[in-house]
Amino acid sequence: MEQRVLIADDDRAVRESLARALELAGYEVVAAVDGVDALTRARQGDFSALVVDVMMPYVDGVAVCRVLRAGGDRTPVLMLTARAGVPDRIAGLDAGADDYLPKPFAVPELLARLRALIRRLPCEPDAGPDREALRLGALRIVPAARRAWWSEAELPLSKTEFDLLELLVRNEGIVLDHAELYRRVWGPEAGVDAKNLAGYVGYLRRKLGGAGAPELIHTVRGVGYAVRRP
């Protein structure tokens, strides 16, 4: 089935070149010229992924992502940014983006990241909400529904955050190194970027802590991360 992707970028040349590249790769493309247009189109359509530029007039890409997540939209978001600094990347992750790509970028890398995001799209659950739930103390994860709770508080996780948390919990007590985490969450085509991974781990920790959870995700310096029971 053809996959639909929304591209939101106020630079016409970038927008049109991306649209051509994605169409050649077999995607159906819908283009938005700014943040307001992106929100309107995202709410009206059913998309496999969104490619959103950070710097746009009226409503920027970070705000677009934050508004969609606040409304319950969990469509994967790949954020494009000319700002490669750590604070800017963290801002995108905090808003709910699943991945980011600094400008200038190579189109093959964008396509690879997009494929990795879309591969993680959930299948429709075929049973009740507690089917095959994973539990760690008061943490409950339902992979079929792609939802997670600490006690009674549901965690508002992006797709990448959910995949990372699920992987760590399934391997409770085992230290997973950076390369293994990238291979299993982002796919074999993704490179290893420790700062990017640290950003997602930090965001998971804040969300778990905000729901009242003690420290669950532990850093093993120079190696990776592990989840341990409190």
pTM of the model: 0.61
For 59, how many CA atoms within 13 A lie in the half-sphere containing its CB? 17
The tokens for 195 are 């700062």
Domains of the chain (ranges; CATH) run 4-119 (3.40.50.2300), 134-227 (1.10.10.10)
Spell out the residues 6+ positions from residue 12 whose beta carbon is closer than 8 angstroms to its own. 33
Q: What are the structure tokens assigned to 91, written together?
A: 């801002």
Distance CA 48, CA 119 (A): 10
Amino acid, single-letter form, for residue 120: R
Partner residues linked to 154 by β-bridges:
149
d(CA 179, CA 186): 10
Q: What whole-number distance in Å separates Cα of residue 153 and Cα of residue 156?
A: 9
**DSSP single-letter state for residue 122:** P
Cα distance between residue 28 and residue 1, in whole Å: 10
Residue at 223: amino acid letter: V
Confirm if 145 and 203 have CB atoms less than 8 A apart.
Answer: no
Question: In Å, what is the CA distance from 211 to each residue of 91, 120, 214?
Answer: 20, 25, 9
Phi-psi region of 58 (alpha: psi -120 to 50; beta: other; left: phi over 0): left
The edge-to-edge listing of strands for the beta sheet with 134-136 is: 134-136, 139-142, 147-150, 153-154
Cα four-point dihedral sign 139, 140, 144, 145: negative
Going residue by residue through the chain (230 aa), what tens digit of pLDDT does each one get? 578 999 999 999 999 999 999 999 999 999 999 999 999 999 888 899 999 999 898 889 989 988 888 877 888 999 998 766 667 667 777 778 888 888 888 899 899 889 888 876 554 444 344 446 888 889 999 887 888 999 889 999 988 899 999 999 988 888 999 888 888 888 766 666 666 888 899 999 999 999 999 999 999 988 999 999 87
